Amino acid sequence: MPRRSDKSFFCDKKYWSKRKDLILGYYLKPYLPKIATQRRPILIVDAFAGPGKFDDGEAGSPLIICSHASAANAKPLPVPVEVLCIEPDNELYDRLEHLLGQFPFASARHGEFLEYLPEIERKASTHSVFLYVDPFTVEGLDWRAMDRLFQHVGEGHSVEVLVNFNSRSFVRRGLAALRIEVPSIDPDNEDDLPVDAETAESPSLTRLDAVVGGGWWREVLRRPDGFPQQVQAVADGYCDRLRERFSEVCPHPVKALPHHTIAKYYLILGSRSPHALPLINDAMAKSREMLADLAKPAEPTLFETRTFELVPGEDRLRDLLLERLTGQMPRGALINKVMRTALGDYSSTQIRRCIAELIKAGTVQSATRRHRIPDRELVWRAGG
């Protein structure tokens, strides 16, 4: 159950939540028609749903998901789209159930995510499942329970997950549980809203093991690395766990402010679909642009003054493309390689445009010698 203070989350939507929602909506819109081609009904699960709408009128994830499902069902897609939203808090659940009443394809479940995992697992035998996991911190996550669903991936089941993994909170809790000094919040480098670990009871080591699927994190936190490195290393470790099940694992650090060096949390997509990478890359590129806009100087400047991390340069894209282009390869494979190296740094449109410019300049050759080419066409370095 949420603590009283947690409900203040739904008073007004915070800036970083808008980036999180942008990624969810931006991904779902093209994902639905793509996954529908598998001809299995689609189930979208909002596992940590909340009331559906913020007090300031902004859409919460249930409403975002339902509006995309509604548009897909109206088109209509060759298969129906269903939505399932889970919420344990009585008051939030009542609001959620009332809101979902307007969507005949959506239903609310009262209780905790883990209680409904067996139902979701059964549905996965007949449906393509998209699971959205957005807890407040890391409470309510359980790797082994979730992995019972993930292990069907590739056995004729289609499951994708988009998880909000709060590595920062996990590391603070983990340090407390290991009786290692917990660093105080550094407002220059991270979000300075109160961190739950200070108010929540420190969970046991075994509970933390259950969240991330083993005790691998303990060794990471015992290393004398700094807090930012530990936060990154635990997020990387969680991605490695997901990679045991999903061929494409795409993490995106969501920072509260542009100058922060520590992510508030990571949004991580796990998928086996070949369509997932470009779709999530473009969603993440939009999110990065949103953050870069926050850092825009008030007056226009002659040169870009923001960091490369916020505004990755086109020169680097050209270098990346040439580095990754080994031998002859289809353009689509080259694009994927660049996206995996620099996820969300460049949109697919930017990458395609840059390849076309390299072909025009004679640095790269294409099989047909044209610069407007499909993804399957072979490209190679001129003179290579």
Ligand X SMILES: C[S@@+](CC[C@H](N)C(=O)[O-])C[C@H]1O[C@@H](n2cnc3c(N)ncnc32)[C@H](O)[C@@H]1O
3-state secondary structure 213-236: CCCHHHHHHHCCCCHHHHHHHHHH
For 360, residues 6+ apart whose C-beta sits below 8 A from its C-beta are 371
State how far the Cα of 34 lies from the Cα of 345, in Å rounded to an integer.
Answer: 23
Q: Of 85 and 334, which CB lies nearer to ligand X in the complex structure? A: 85
> How many CA atoms, within 13 angstroms, populate the side-chain half-sphere of residue 152?
21
Q: Of 52 and 174, which CB lies nearer to ligand X in the complex structure? A: 52
- Contact call for residue 166 and ligand X (CB under 6 A): no
Task: List the one residue from 26, 136, 150, 227 that touches ligand X (CB under 6 A).
Answer: 136
Minimum Å gap between C-beta 89 and ligand X is 4
Minimum Å gap between C-beta 131 and ligand X is 12
Minimum Å gap between C-beta 316 and ligand X is 33
Q: Of 9 and 216, which CB lies nearer to ligand X in the complex structure? A: 9
Task: List the one residue from 94, 112, 309, 375 that touches ligand X (CB under 6 A).
Answer: 112
Phi, psi of 168 (to 5 degrees): -60, -45
- Contact call for residue 203 and ligand X (CB under 6 A): no
Minimum Å gap between C-beta 86 and ligand X is 5
Q: Of 62 and 270, which CB lies nearer to ligand X in the complex structure? A: 62
State how far the Cα of 73 lies from the Cα of 70, in Å rounded to an integer.
Answer: 5
Q: Of 217 and 265, which CB lies nearer to ligand X in the complex structure? A: 265
Q: Which is nearest to 38 in space by CA: 273, 271, 211?
A: 273
Specify whether the CB–CB gap between 124 and 159 falls below 8 A: yes
State how far the Cα of 10 lies from the Cα of 230, in Å rounded to an integer.
Answer: 30
Minimum Å gap between C-beta 134 and ligand X is 4
Q: Of 9 and 380, which CB lies nearer to ligand X in the complex structure? A: 9
**Contacts (CB under 6 A) with ligand X, residues 78-107:** 86-89, 92
Q: Which residue number places its CB atom closest to ligand X?
A: 60
Minimum Å gap between C-beta 210 and ligand X is 13
**Contacts (CB under 6 A) with ligand X, residues 8-67:** 9, 47-50, 60-61
Q: Of 35 and 49, which CB lies nearer to ligand X in the complex structure? A: 49
227-243 vs 205-212: helix axis angle to the nearest 10? 50
Coil/strand/helix, residue 338: helix
- For residue 311, CA distances in Å to 189, 190, 308, 314, 358 come to 19, 20, 5, 9, 21
Minimum Å gap between C-beta 18 and ligand X is 10
- Contact call for residue 134 and ligand X (CB under 6 A): yes
84 bridge partner residues: 45, 107
The residues binding ligand X (CB under 6 A) are 2, 9, 47-50, 60-61, 86-89, 92, 112-113, 134-136, 140
